[in-house]
Amino acid sequence: MSDRKYTAPALEKGLDILDLLAGHGQAMTLSQISVALGKSVGEIFRMIHVLEFKGFIETVPGAEGYELTNRLFRLGMARAPVKTLLEAALPLMRDLAARVEQSCHLAQVSREQIVVVARIENPGYYGYSVRTGHRRDIVAATSGMVLYAFQPPPVQAVWREMIFKDVSPSEQSTFLANAEQVARQGYWRAESDLVPNIIDLSSPIVADGTAVAALTMPYLYKRGARSIDESIAEVQATAAAISSEIQGVT
């Protein structure tokens, strides 16, 4: 980054608020925001209202406080590399969901979290899916482990500094051991720690040797469903097909 030549205090204040809300993960009141940023309520009051008026934040129905809207997410999705990935992925994801009759989603890294950038719902009568825009810490997400496992060692080192800040040594060791297994076998299978009876199956989307996204199927067992092993093979094959489509263009 070049040396700083100019400052824009009001803009920086607004960006600090957006950063804070994105990292916090839940609604924050005006007073909580002021304490977290070390600024008085008077300093941020007008900025909060401008951000709300412009559609970047919103009040939470039935609760006090503000949270991010999806506007920043939509702006990020408009970037050409993301559009190229989705253009390649969505038709293949639809085919996957139709073949296996399970939902699937695509996740990418956003700082120390993963964010779901696309999903295809199960075309059958019932199923389970993860909403677009959903965020979770890399260390807690199946997609996060897959994305970490397929990064170059220097990138992994940077990520560890970021994602292990509040993680116990034993959890770090488990994550790293599992990531090594993911790198060897090319996928990860794990029971969801959020939803009972869901098994997450995930495989990397790779461009130029690096994972740029993770394709994940939250597998729900139902009568007549493909087996888990068959579904893993389908997820891997679809991830490989998407990877082939995006080489040199992401």
Domain residue extents for the chain: 9-69, 74-246
Rounded to whole angstroms, how far apart are CA atoms 105 and 131? Answer: 9
Residue 85: what pLDDT?
86
Q: Enter the CATH code of domain 9-69.
A: 1.10.10.10
Please tell me the total number of residues recorded for the chain in this structure: 250
Same fold, 9-69 and 74-246: no
* Topology, domain 74-246: Beta-Lactamase (3.30.450)
Q: For residue range 117-160, what is the model confidence (pLDDT) as tens digits? A: 999 998 777 667 788 888 899 999 999 999 999 999 989 998 99
Q: For residue range 61-104, what is the model confidence (pLDDT) as tens digits? A: 766 788 887 777 666 655 555 558 888 899 999 999 999 999 99
In degrees rounded to 5, what are phi and psi of residue 68?
A: -70, 145
Rounded to whole angstroms, how far apart are CA atoms 150 and 45? Answer: 43
Report pTM: 0.69
Q: Is the pLDDT of residue 58 over 80?
A: yes
Rounded to whole angstroms, how far apart are CA atoms 144 and 249? Answer: 23
Q: For residue range 202-244, what is the model confidence (pLDDT) as tens digits? A: 999 998 888 999 999 999 888 778 899 999 999 999 999 999 8
Q: Is the pLDDT of residue 194 over 50?
A: yes
